[in-house]
Amino acid sequence: MNVAIIERGAAFLGAIAVGVSAIVQLKNDWKARGLDADVTKLLLGLMAFGCVLALLAAANVLGARS
């Protein structure tokens, strides 16, 4: 099997698992107060966004080069 397909498959499944975990953690921490909680929420949200990017890249929606 093509190595790129394996890499994309691993990235796809991993991005779903990590993204869902990040969103669940974000939801759990949503009501937390304080500077550290606010910064953590921002960074977790951006990390979840990164997982969406990785998911789209793995699905060849983004970064597909001719």
Partner 1 sequence: MAAAALHDLSGHDAVAARYHDVDAVYGETRDIRLLGFVFFLLADCVLFSSFIFAYIYLRVSAPAWPPFLNGHQLPWFDTSFAAMNSVVLFGSGVTMHFALENWKHLNKRKFYGWLIATIALGIGFLLGQAHEYSSVGISWAGTTMGASFFTLTGLHGFHVFIGVIYLTVLGIQVNRGVYTGSKYFGLTAGTLYWHFVDVIWVALFFLFYLW
Chosen residue from 1, 31, 33, 65 binding partner 1 by CB under 8 A: 65
φ and ψ at residue 61, rounded to 5 degrees: -80, -40
Contact between 46 and partner 1 by CB under 8 A: the answer reads: yes
Contact between 4 and partner 1 by CB under 8 A: the answer reads: yes
Contact between 63 and partner 1 by CB under 8 A: the answer reads: yes
Chosen residue from 1, 31, 33, 36 binding partner 1 by CB under 8 A: 36
